[in-house]
Amino acid sequence: MAAPLTFPSHAFNRRNLMKGAAALAATAATATSASALETQAPLGQLGAPTMSTQPLPLGPLPGSVYPDSHLESANKSGKPTFGPPGFPAFAGTMAVERVATGFRWAEGPVYFPAGRYVLFSDIPNNRIMRFSEDDGHLSVYRQPSMNSNGNTIDREGRLITCEHSGRRVTRTELDGSITVIADKFNGKRLNSPNDAVVSSDGAIWFTDPVYGIGGYYEGVKAEPEQEKHNVFRVDPKSGDIKVVADDFVEPNGLAFSPDEKKLYIIDTGFTDGPDNPSHIRAFDADTGAGKLSNSKVFAEMPKPSITDGVRTDRDGRVWLSVGWGDPNENGVRGYSPQGELLGKIHIPETVANLCFGGQQRNRLYICGSTSLYAVYTSAQGALKP
């Protein structure tokens, strides 16, 4: 196991975290042979090695044998299943697949059932990509994309996008035109909208950290104009924007529970300093009134890793992307609605975000740095992205 990272008392930011994570990954890769992909840690020790010095092909990951060892259960009940025992979201024979590659930083996937395709951002390359699941075709959906990050879909099948360099949230209309949903609050520009979700009443909820204005790699370097890093709600009728949460260090991914009684919001403040949060919080949500209350930490991430994206399934389980730190944590974590860790999906790259897709909404698409991965599960994604 690589030595833990140590952090300087100054200048701790996302760039330094990326450097530290890269150093940790390089150390692990040096000590790991190509056969590590076939090695699974004992089930009592979550965190199977997934690093490899060999290029990854498209298709099932090297070393995959049904049931795939990249799917790991945290429940040691011993209940017999076809697949990792005790992980109710997995059953049958399935494998993690690499379905597309060639990106600089893949983020913000959203599935469009009408066209059977996934849209996702390639932030530094300033484009939105499209992966068609019927024939595996990969194409550019939009370029430039204003360094788009998070994407979602509204109740009318329209694309909602958070833009870094645009410092705004937009909607792509059915005729292809673009409508600005939010770009200012109290007369000042937003920082860099990151991720969004649409509630059943049509309201758009989005986070506004500062990652997209920290330099020129993910957007355009600029000074933040919003003093706090807020979570906002855009009223579906009036278009008014209001703050629904203002106590985050860096608010990131967000998702509703299937019944919309909970809103899960990630805080990746750890990128700004070692004492800051690396966790996901759960709020009681009153979508009609546009209010959040009773904030509680739902799950802590093992530092130096962070979680970035979140989705829920029809049974209320919570699926989190994990990366940026220990390479053995790279992948997806699945939690019960009560916050119990159920299992992990190991991915050989840092994972930024994820979404459910497929005709049965049982195919999990995973944005892992340079590649798009997918795995079939016995869970079905919540109807809302």
Q: Given CA atoms 31, 368, 384, 228 in this order, what sign does their dihedral have? A: positive
Q: Across residues 355-373, what is the average pLDDT?
A: 95
Residues 6+ apart with CB under 8 A from 251: 194, 207, 208, 209, 229, 230, 231, 245, 265, 266, 267
Do residues 91 and 81 make contact, with C-beta atoms less than 8 angstroms apart? yes
pLDDT given for residue 59 in this prediction: 77
What are the domain boundaries of the chain? 14-376
Asked if the model's pLDDT at residue 347 lies above 90, the reply is yes
| Residues 249, 278: Cα–Cα separation, whole Å | 10
What integer best gives the mean pLDDT of the chain?
Answer: 83
Q: What is the pLDDT of residues 281-307, one digit of tens each?
A: 999 999 999 999 999 999 999 999 999
Q: What is the pLDDT of residues 206-263, one digit of tens each?
A: 999 999 999 999 999 999 999 999 999 999 999 999 999 999 999 999 999 999 999 9
**The domain at 14-376 falls in which architecture?**
6 Propeller (2.120)
Would you place residue 55 in the very low, low, confident or very high pLDDT band (cuts 50, 70, 90)? low
| Residues 162, 168: Cα–Cα separation, whole Å | 6
> Closest Cα partner for 24 from 52, 5, 48?
5
pLDDT given for residue 1 in this prediction: 35
Percent of the chain with pLDDT over 90: 71
Structure tokens at 271: 């990128």
| Residues 206, 161: Cα–Cα separation, whole Å | 10
Do residues 64 and 373 make contact, with C-beta atoms less than 8 angstroms apart? no
Would you place residue 269 in the very low, low, confident or very high pLDDT band (cuts 50, 70, 90)? very high
Place of tokens 């992966």: 131
Do residues 231 and 205 make contact, with C-beta atoms less than 8 angstroms apart? yes
Residues 6+ apart with CB under 8 A from 328: 28, 41, 47, 48, 49, 50, 346
Would you place residue 25 in the very low, low, confident or very high pLDDT band (cuts 50, 70, 90)? very low
252 φ/ψ angles, rounded to the nearest 5 degrees: -130, -120
> Closest Cα partner for 371 from 124, 58, 112?
58
Would you place residue 130 in the very low, low, confident or very high pLDDT band (cuts 50, 70, 90)? very high
Q: What is the pLDDT of residues 63-113, one digit of tens each?
A: 766 666 677 767 654 443 333 444 445 544 568 899 999 999 999 999 999
Q: What is the pLDDT of residues 141-151, one digit of tens each?
A: 999 999 999 99
| Residues 360, 228: Cα–Cα separation, whole Å | 40
Do residues 281 and 292 make contact, with C-beta atoms less than 8 angstroms apart? no
Q: What pTM does this model have?
A: 0.83
Cα three-residue angle 118-181-209, rounded to 5 degrees: 75
